[in-house]
Amino acid sequence: MTYDGAAGAAATRAPAVSVRGLGKRYGEVEAVAGIDFDVVAGETFGFLGPNGAGKSTTIGVLCTLVKPTGGRATVAGHDVATERDDVRRNIGLVFQDTTLDGYLSAEQNLRLHAELYGVPRGVVADRMRQVMEMVGLWERRDSLVRTFSGGMKRRLEIARGLLHSPRVLFLDEPTVGLDPQTRSSIWGYIRELKAREDITIFLTTHYMDEAEYCDRIAIMDRGKIIVLDTPEALKASVGRDRVQIATDDDDAAIAALRERFGLDATVAEGLVTFAVESGGAFVPRLFEGLGVPIRSVSVSRPSLDDVFMSYTGTTIRDAEATAGDRNRQFAKMMAR
């Protein structure tokens, strides 16, 4: 399928998710501060940002679990505030924390879901087998879920989220807390799913490498969408290489970079960090002219980390350290 063909198909289909001026305030805390975006039917759309940026609150609103305090949003053509049941029938959910019953078997968990969602009786058995085979758990269908590893539970939750053929699958941090190998296998299942089912995937992540799997990503920070585009376009927009140096005197190095090279540098992850075009060629000039002893140097091509940094002025890991408070407040709200 060509690019034009996809765009043509998208033009005839309503957006899977449409958000206008959406806001959510918890007392003094503005978790989501008026955001706008559309998700095209059939794409994989990622929300990227540090913990506490407002990603989970946004997902909560779109899943009808959180009432917005401003703006409106539709999912699969239904308003999340006024047509909650219609939205719920058309979405699948995989939350950050497990929502399985450990004392039931894998199959019993899925059957309970099928009954709650009113999946027609004639297709329940076939559909359960299909989704369990997809995530490689069909052989373990009779095992109690509490005997499953974290990765198996997440796979079962993805299978359960798909059981009623939702039009939009929401994945809130689908790989958080999993080891790298399991993370990549979860992504394998998500890609396979995209090939098999006519489905839109909306996910949040704070792993930069995972955002690369998305068709488009929105970078969110402090309740606002900072930028929204394809990963390639975002990286191209940065254009410059990232240089990180360890020095004996960071303040002197930052001052020297500004005076002698006209570069704005900051300290990120304990290293003096700045962006420069063709970083490899810049390093010899740096050693010659900085005047502050340098202990190590690293140069990297632009990554989504740099995209995040160029739009927010901080790395995602540093942003997480300061967002802890907001996040804890949110966790308290969601616990109810």
Q: Which residues bind other proteins (CB under 8 A)?
A: 1, 3, 6-7, 9-11, 15, 36-38, 40, 42-43, 63-67, 85-86, 88-90, 93, 95, 97-104, 108, 111-113, 115-120, 123, 126-127, 130, 163-165, 192, 194-198, 215-216, 218, 225-230, 237, 335-336
152 contact partners, CB below 8 Å, separation of at least 6 = 137, 140
CA distance 330 to 324: 10
Nearer CB in complex with other proteins: 59/208: 59
Nearer CB in complex with other proteins: 49/279: 49
Total count of residues recorded for the chain: 336
Burial of 252 (0-12, 13-18, 19+ CB in 10 A): middle
Nearer CB in complex with other proteins: 140/247: 140
**What long-range pairs does 39-42 form, CB within 8 A, spacing at least 24?**
39/15, 39/168, 39/200, 39/202, 40/10, 40/13, 40/15, 40/16, 40/200, 41/10, 41/13, 41/14, 41/15, 41/16, 41/167, 41/200, 42/6, 42/9, 42/10, 42/13, 42/16, 42/198, 42/199, 42/200
CB 141 within 8 A of CB 30: no
Question: Quick one: which of 229, 175, 172, 169 has its CA closest to 41?
Answer: 169
Nearer CB in complex with other proteins: 144/255: 144
CB of 14 to other proteins, least distance (A): 9
CB of 272 to other proteins, least distance (A): 28
CB of 279 to other proteins, least distance (A): 24
Nearer CB in complex with other proteins: 111/317: 111
Nearer CB in complex with other proteins: 234/257: 234
